[in-house]
Amino acid sequence: MEVESKKDVEVAPAIIAVHPDGSSVAVAVGPDLRVFDLRGGSAVSLVDDPAAEPFHKDNIRAIRFGAEGRLFVSAGDDKTLKIWSPHSWRCISTVSSEKRVTAVAVSNDGGFVCFADKFGVVWVVDLDPPLHDKKPMPLLSHYCSIITSLEFSLDGRFILSADRDFKIRVTSFPNKPLNGAHQIQSFCLGHTEFVSCLAFVQGQEFPDSLLLSGSGDSTVRLWDIISGALLHTCEVANKAGLLESDSKEDNHGHAITDLCTVLDGLLVAVAIQSLQGIVLLRCNVSSQTLSVSQVVSVAGEAFIPTCLGSSPSIGNLWMVTGVSSLPGCNYPSLARVRVISGIDVEQEPVVLGDDNIPGGEKLLETLQGTASVDDNAFLAAAEAVKTAMCNLLIKKQYPAENRESRKKTRNDRKLKG
């Protein structure tokens, strides 16, 4: 019943994750989890827990590698979290959630997996030992707001959670997380729309505490997580010259959908809802500012990435776009994968053609479901992607006037009199 009435809400964007050492790439689209072994040059056959139902039964909403690539986690609308070994690609643990899962994170030492559910509660699972049907314990909660992103800080001291109420919470990750994480270090407040993604600025010369966030307010912001201070706001769409004359574009047209640090965090790739390609931002450590380095466009097809991935060791940026299923389309779970290589301070980045993509045709067949995606299917997908991202991220549409008053932030003027 619920599924019927919210048909298009149920469309899930395609997501991608790259092993930190660049040895494999995973794409999830709809309930399908597809993994390609770049070293072996072949598709991976996942081996699920024999006791569990095979794989995922509903849209996957989150996948990621964790603990330096020793673990891989997948989870989503089927209220199931699966923890895989990227060596054997066996499922080593299955965890049941009471609600649908919206985000996942793995502690840096691989000891704990955390996931957020539809009610804004973050749960923690102790992976020692990694048994099946481990009972998750509640860790923290955002009161009735959907959590869009979960991240551990680089030093592992904090867990960060971002939500659709514009909020980023920084919480100490305790020694005994099964008793809950009660100490809030800071809130990073400044976004004026939903926060869609988080990424840490990495690299030796950077302090551990610099965080990047992307939002429906079309900005990427730089924060100090210890104090919660907003260090810099980059109006990406504006700065990258995407705004121009199309004032008809709705408010969320330039929503930031994903962030991915490349080249040890010197550069940050930004996916924007209206952009066929990505924007590269440069992070200046000494001035603590962000600036647009360049726009990398994907020519020739309507490719608006829904998710980005990269491994720090190899300067390739992986992009995927797609949706779980399109009504009236004969490509169920359509996905399209592209790669930008040569992202380097000295070089010019290039969008690789399908002939030059690492893994070649086999990889495309594995991750896309088909080696070539025809143009018409693609255009339909691009539209559906937009709808899907909107539904995923935008909680409710305020009338324009109301939205203005929300931004003004001052209330109770009356008291002045």
Partner 1 sequence: MSETEVNPAICKSTGLPRKRFYRARAHSNPLSDSHFPVPISPSHVDYSLHYPQLLSGQADSSRKIQFADIGCGFGGLLISLSTMFPETLMIGMELRDKVTEYVKERILSLRKANPGQYQNVSVVRTNSMKYIPNYFEKGQLSKMFFLFPDPHFKEKNHRRRVISPFLLDEYAYALEVGGIIYTITDVEELGDWMKSCLENHPMFEALTEKELEADPVVKLLSSATEEGQKVARNEGQTFQAVFRRIVPSDQTS
**Residues in touch with partner 1 (CB under 8 A):** 119, 121, 138, 140-141, 143-145, 165-167, 169, 171, 174-176, 179-184, 186-187, 189-192, 228, 395-396, 398, 402, 405-417
Distance CA 373, CA 399 (A): 38
CB of 153 to partner 1, least distance (A): 17
Closest CB to partner 1 among residues 180, 312: 180
- What is the Cα Rg of the chain in Å? 20
CB of 232 to partner 1, least distance (A): 15
CB of 151 to partner 1, least distance (A): 19
Closest CB to partner 1 among residues 47, 184: 184
Which residues on neighbouring strands pair with residue 306, listed in sequence order? Answer: none
The reply to whether omega before 174 is within 30° of 0 (cis) is no
Query: Which phi-psi region, left, alpha or beta, contains residue 144 (left: φ > 0; alpha: ψ -120 to 50)?
Result: left
Closest CB to partner 1 among residues 7, 410: 410
Tokens coding 113? 């997996």
Spell out the alpha helix ranges (H) of 285-374. 360-368
Closest CB to partner 1 among residues 7, 416: 416
Distance CA 99, CA 79 (A): 6
Closest CB to partner 1 among residues 327, 417: 417
Cα distances (angstroms) measured from residue 81 to each of 54, 114, 126, 164, 208 = 12, 10, 13, 22, 29
Spell out the alpha helix ranges (H) of 146-301. 236-239
What is the maximum alpha-carbon separation in the chain? Answer: 74
CB of 67 to partner 1, least distance (A): 24
CB of 196 to partner 1, least distance (A): 17
Distance CA 417, CA 414 (A): 6
Closest CB to partner 1 among residues 7, 176: 176
Q: Are the CB atoms for 268 and 212 separated by under 8 Å?
A: yes
Distance CA 266, CA 272 (A): 19
Tokens coding 413? 């003027």
CB of 107 to partner 1, least distance (A): 17
Look up residue 179 and give its amino acid.
Answer: N
Closest CB to partner 1 among residues 284, 402: 402
CB of 187 to partner 1, least distance (A): 4
